[in-house]
Amino acid sequence: MRINPNNTIDNPPISFDLPAPAKLNLYLHITGRRPDGYHQLETLFQFLDYSDDITFELTHDGDIQLDQGTLDFPQEENLVYRAARLLAPYRSNSKQGVKLTLNKQLPAGGGLGGGSSDAATTLLGLNHLWRLQLSNDELAEIGLGLGADVPVFVHGKATFAQGVGEIFSPANPAENWYLIVQPNVHVSTAEIFTHPALPRNTPAAKTALNEWQQGRNDCEKLVCSLYPQVASALQWLLKYAPSRMTGTGACVFGCFSSAVEAEQALQVLPTEFRGFVAKGVNQSPLHQALKQLP
Ligand SMILES: C[C@@](CO)(OP(=O)(O)O)[C@H](O)COP(=O)(O)OP(=O)(O)OC[C@H]1O[C@@H](n2ccc(N)nc2=O)[C@H](O)[C@@H]1O
Ligand SMILES: Nc1ncnc2c1ncn2[C@@H]1O[C@H](COP(=O)(O)OP(=O)(O)O)[C@@H](O)[C@H]1O
């Protein structure tokens, strides 16, 4: 815990860091479309031990401040800031404020859920900092408005999700090692979901498919045809391991049985791509870190 000279005996210093981990959609099936245009999905979420990092510092002026580093969109649009604003009305003392510092590692809009994860970490972190005592179910409901994946990050367990992502069943997929490759392209989720060529008729599973090999990503073929960089990243990765796209892209992941094998492939990654090695984990690193806080 860092000491802030502005703190007094009445205002104890509180400052801590929490991770905002990435997720993979180990598979993503589209089983239908609702009348409002939203798609019914079946997807297996697993977390990665690779994260953004958010620092929380208690202030006493009631303000919400955010340092978002080099992110180039307005601060008011940042999901960290928007999550903090949503929690502000729950404070019992309106003088409670926060200085948030976001250290971004995860590529924005890469299908790794970084924005949703940042929002979930902000909700859980501020619940702790401001002693709000909201339950995870309440935080998930507040967060759902910020992004479909926020509730999964709030609950923090690997999940088989159905509906538009709001129906959860526990899942326990193998905790493999992955090489995640990031093509230098941004894929718009809305563009993919509104495309006429997207397949939308995968039969719904009767029970959760617990392993990624049992499924596929229904967006992958379309994204590869629209974005040759994604196709080329996937083709390269398939030479080293069984591989697939996550979410609506653009990142692809290869599944390895050891960190060493994944690192060896990373060593020869073509310079046109970026990549990192991470372990799939069924308990969110965020929840592990929260348990360590006083
Ligand atoms: C499909 C997933 C799987 O994790 O993709 P990624 O974003 O992670 O790649 C997510 O659930 C995405 O959730 P989220 O990122 O919150 O989606 P939004 O920005 O709300 O959606 C953008 C647009 O995609 C369409 N959309 C989104 C989700 C869904 N189940 N059906 C849809 O048709 C809608 O047109 C919506 O306006
Ligand atoms: N803290 C944040 N980190 C990343 N993206 C954010 C953040 N806040 C808002 N955004 C917006 O959310 C979009 C989706 O980001 P992200 O969750 O990383 O991708 P995806 O939904 O593909 O997994 C970004 O393109 C960006 O405009």
Asked whether residue 114 is marked as a ligand-binding residue, the answer is yes
CA of 177 to the centre of ligand 1 (A): 26
257-288 per-position pLDDT tens digit: 999 999 999 999 999 999 999 999 999 999 99
The mean pLDDT of 165-193, rounded to a whole number, is 94
Give, for ligand 1, the residue of 42, 189, 191 to mutate: max count of ligand atoms closer than 8 Å to Cβ. 189
Q: Is the CB of 232 under 6 A from ligand 1?
A: no
CA of 287 to the centre of ligand 1 (A): 24
CA of 70 to the centre of ligand 1 (A): 25
Q: Is the CB of 247 under 6 A from ligand 1?
A: yes
- Kindly report the protein residue whose alpha carbon is nearest to atom 4 of ligand 2: 115
DSSP state of 220: H
Q: Check residue 11 and give its pLDDT.
A: 53
Residues noted as catalytic: 23, 149
Q: Alpha carbon of 212 to those of 27, 173, 217: distances in Å? A: 6, 8, 10
Asked whether residue 254 is marked as a ligand-binding residue, the answer is no
Q: Is the CB of 31 under 6 A from ligand 1?
A: no
Report d(CA 44, CA 26) in Å as an integer: 5
Residue 13's pLDDT band, with cuts at 50, 70 and 90, is: low
Q: Is the CB of 79 under 6 A from ligand 2?
A: yes
43-100 per-position pLDDT tens digit: 999 999 999 999 999 999 999 999 999 999 999 999 999 999 999 999 999 999 999 9
Architecture of 15-291 per CATH? Answer: 2-Layer Sandwich (3.30)
Closest ligand 2 atom to 110 CA: 22
SS (H, E, C) 158-219: CEEEEECCCEEEECCCCCCEEEEEECCCCCCHHHHHCCCCCCCCCCCCCCCCCCHHHCCECC
Q: Is the CB of 111 under 6 A from ligand 2?
A: yes
Q: Bigger pLDDT: 8 or 158?
A: 158
Q: Is the CB of 73 under 6 A from ligand 2?
A: yes
129-155 per-position pLDDT tens digit: 999 999 999 999 999 999 999 999 999
Is ipTM over 0.85?
A: yes
Within 10 angstroms of residue 216's Cβ, the number of other Cβ atoms is 16
The mean pLDDT of 28-35, rounded to a whole number, is 95
Helix (H, G, I), strand (E, B) or coil at 80: helix
Residue 256, strand partner residues: 177
Closest ligand 1 atom to 249 CA: 9
Average pLDDT of the chain to the nearest whole number: 94
Whether the predicted pLDDT of 3 surpasses 60: no
